[in-house]
Amino acid sequence: MKRTGWLVLLSVAIVMMFTTVFGQSAPMRVERRPAADAPASSVAPADPQVGGEAFHILDGLPTLIELHHDTEVGTNKPIDVYALVIEMQVMNSDGDREPIGLQLFNFFTKWPVEPAKANNPHNARDCRIWAGLQTRAMKNRDPKSKTWPYIEFTSRVGARVIQTNEDGAVYWSDDIECWGSSDRFPPF
C-alpha cells in the first residue's frame, strides 16, 4: 500500500478511537432532507390566509453550511444550492447541551422559485447568516452559561422540491426559514 493510503487509514483509526473514547455512546446517525429521490413538485403549499399550513421544525447546532453549484435534472440549467447540516439537540431539559447523535443534512435553493410571491425572497441568505451567528455564539459561549445557541430550521409540509443532478432533491427556498435562538429556560 502506498504511503498516502497508510496515512489515510491511520487518520481514520485515530478519529474512530477518539470518537469511541470521548464521543457519544451511540453512533452518529445522518438523515437527509428532503430525501434525495423525492419527486420534483411545483405546487405551492397551502396559503396560510386560506387553508392554513404546517411546518417541520428542527432545532440544533449548525455544523456546516456550504454553497453548491448544481444543475437542474432534465434541463442542466445552473442552480445554486445550500447544504445546511444541523446537529439535533434536546432543548429545555436539564440545562446542558444534549446532542442526540443525529445530523440532519438540509438542502435548499439559494433563490426562490417565485421571488415576487415569496414572503421573504432572502430565506437562504438568512439561513447562511444565522448559521454563522450561532456558530460564533457557540464558540464564544461562557462555559458557565446554562443557555445554548441553536438554529431553528423550518420547512413547510408539502414544500416544493426541485431535482438536481449533483445533490438530488432540494427544497425551494420559498418554503424554508431559519433563525437563531437560545435555549433560555431554566433547568428542570
| Per-domain boundaries in the chain | 28-182
Q: Render 43-55 in DSSP notation, one character per residue.
A: PPPPPTTTT---E
Specify the pLDDT at position 12.
44
- Amino acid sitting at position 105: F
Whole-prediction pTM: 0.76
Burial class of residue 70 (count of CB atoms within 10 Å of its CB; 0-12, 13-18, 19+) = buried
Q: What is the mean pLDDT of residues 49-53?
A: 49
Specify the pLDDT at position 163.
97
Report whether the peptide linkage leading into residue 48 is cis, meaning its omega lies within 30 degrees of zero: no
C-alpha closest to that of 28 among 104, 109, 124, 118: 104
Specify the pLDDT at position 144.
84
C-alpha cell at 101: 447523535
Least confident of 53-57, 85-89, 143-147, 167-171: 53-57
Measure the CA–CA gap between 142 and 29, rounded to whole angstroms. 28
Least confident of 18-32, 59-73, 123-137: 18-32
- Amino acid sitting at position 48: P
* Per-residue model confidence as pLDDT tens digits over 78-109: 999 999 999 887 665 555 556 677 889 999 99
Specify the pLDDT at position 71.
97
pLDDT at 1 > cutoff 50: no
C-alpha cell at 18: 477518539
Q: What is the mean pLDDT of residues 20-24?
A: 44
